């Protein structure tokens, strides 16, 4: 077994994971303001890389955590509780409350006594919960058949270990796998999803599409050679990100409107959807390279950043209903859109941060329900978490 990664790298990755999660507050703060170009760009940018990179980093951290555990099965049980308990609270209380505020008749009639028919912002917990047994299975298979060792032997035999093109191959392979899974899932669900659960099932394409990124992160934790290959250079990742950004700017910045009369609304929507799908496939692994290189350079984390990172899970779980409540309360107030956006984000962030400090951290029951944390000493808990 290879030695584990430096603790500073894990801390840097944890901070980046928290930053990507907190980006959801900005994304949801822009809801209802998409008629302005600045706020229309926020969902495009966020969807292009944020959650895909989040899944890759989560896979990487899970790979590190699972390698340290003497009992992989115990890790799987703990991981399932850490994710399953907050997800259950979300599906039983938070998501139905969101539907109730959005005047969703189904949730209004059922809250809070039945699971909501939409996962809203908590779909990522469903994905991570599904990835956990896959992590365990791959860990056991790798330990029994040395899959990672054979992968590294193949890289050396194919002379990819030192080749500048190896990084490009890895990035494009992950992107193609993501794109293919999303397209296949869309075709399978098109017209077949029950109307009541169409919203929830629409996230299945993301869960399946981001699985290759999670697996790539898990492999990076196990293969130092693959990690070196992927982070060898920033040239190709930057080229990919700039190219996708230019295509986005051209299409959504004017070309779509110019070609609208020629293409028609249906073809226009199909082209736009395809461009977004390609961006969601290419950008996460490319952006993750920059994130991984940045994480290595982090030596110390300021206290305020560490506190925000610790509270990021609580903030993300609780912020969405607060943002919706604020937008409903302010919808008849003639605010400047930029003022509304700023106030919404500030209040939602501060309120949920205080909820974490004053409630979640002080009361073990709330920590367990909202964060899935066992009531145990912080040092022991930190060693077990990812």
What pLDDT is stored for residue 129 in this prediction?
A: 96
Residue 334 burial by CB count (10 A; 0-12/13-18/19+): exposed, middle or buried? exposed
Confidence bin at 111 (pLDDT 50/70/90): very low
CA 372 vs. chain centroid, Å, equals 18
Average pLDDT, the chain: 88
For residue 208, pLDDT over 90 is answered with yes
Mean pLDDT on 200-207: 90
Residues 203 and 126 sit within 8 Å (Cβ to Cβ): yes
With a pLDDT cut of 70, the percent of the chain lying above it is 90
pTM value is 0.91
Q: For residue 223, report the phi and psi dihedrals to the nearest 5 degrees.
A: -120, 100
369 CB neighbour count, 10 Å cutoff: 16
Average pLDDT value for residue range 322-333: 90
Tens digit of pLDDT for each residue in 51-86? 999 999 999 999 999 988 888 999 999 999 999 999
Mean pLDDT calculated for residue range 194-219: 89
| C-alpha closest to that of 347 among 369, 324, 370, 366 | 324
| Whether residue 146 has pLDDT greater than 60 | yes
Residue 135, token pair as written in the block: 């992590």
């Amino acid at each position: 077994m290879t030695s584990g990664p430096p603790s500073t790298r894990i801390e840097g990755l944890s901070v980046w994971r928290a930053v990507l999660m907190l980006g959801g507050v900005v994304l949801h703060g822009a809801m209802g303001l998409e008629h302005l170009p600045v706020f229309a760009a926020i969902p495009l940018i966020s969807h292009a890389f944020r959650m895909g990179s989040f899944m890759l980093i989560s896979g990487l951290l899970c790979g590190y955590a699972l390698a340290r555990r003497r009992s992989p099965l115990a890790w799987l049980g703990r991981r399932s509780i850490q994710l399953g308990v907050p997800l259950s609270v979300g599906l039983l209380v938070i998501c139905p409350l969101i539907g109730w505020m959005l005047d969703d008749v189904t949730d209004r009639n059922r809250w809070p006594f039945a699971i909501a028919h939409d996962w809203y912002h908590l779909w990522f917990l469903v994905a991570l919960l599904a990835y956990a047994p896959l992590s365990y299975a791959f860990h056991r298979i790798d330990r029994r058949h040395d899959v990672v060792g054979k992968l590294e032997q193949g890289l050396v035999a194919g002379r990819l270990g030192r080749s500048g093109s190896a990084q490009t191959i890895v990035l494009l392979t992950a992107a193609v796998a993501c794109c293919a899974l999303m397209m296949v899932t869309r075709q399978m669900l098109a017209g077949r999803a029950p109307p009541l659960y169409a919203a929830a099932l629409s996230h299945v394409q993301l869960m399946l599409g981001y699985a290759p990124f999670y697996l790539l992160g898990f492999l990076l934790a196990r293969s130092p050679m693959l990690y070196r290959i992927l982070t060898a250079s920033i040239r190709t990742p930057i080229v990919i990100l700039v190219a996708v950004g230019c295509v986005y700017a051209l299409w959504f910045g004017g070309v779509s409107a110019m070609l609208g009369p020629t293409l028609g609304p249906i073809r226009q929507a199909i082209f736009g959807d395809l461009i977004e799908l390609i961006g969601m496939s290419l950008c996460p692994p490319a952006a993750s390279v920059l994130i991984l290189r940045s994480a290595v350079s982090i030596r110390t984390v300021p206290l305020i950043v560490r506190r925000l990172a610790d509270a990021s899970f609580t903030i993300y779980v609780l912020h969405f209903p607060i943002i919706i409540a604020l937008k409903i309360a302010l919808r008849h107030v003639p605010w400047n859109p930029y003022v509304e956006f700023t106030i919404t984000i500030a209040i939602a962030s501060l309120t949920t941060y205080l909820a974490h400090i004053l409630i979640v951290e002080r009361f073990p029951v709330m920590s367990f329900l909202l964060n899935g944390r066992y009531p145990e000493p912080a040092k022991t808990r930190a060693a077990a978490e990812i």
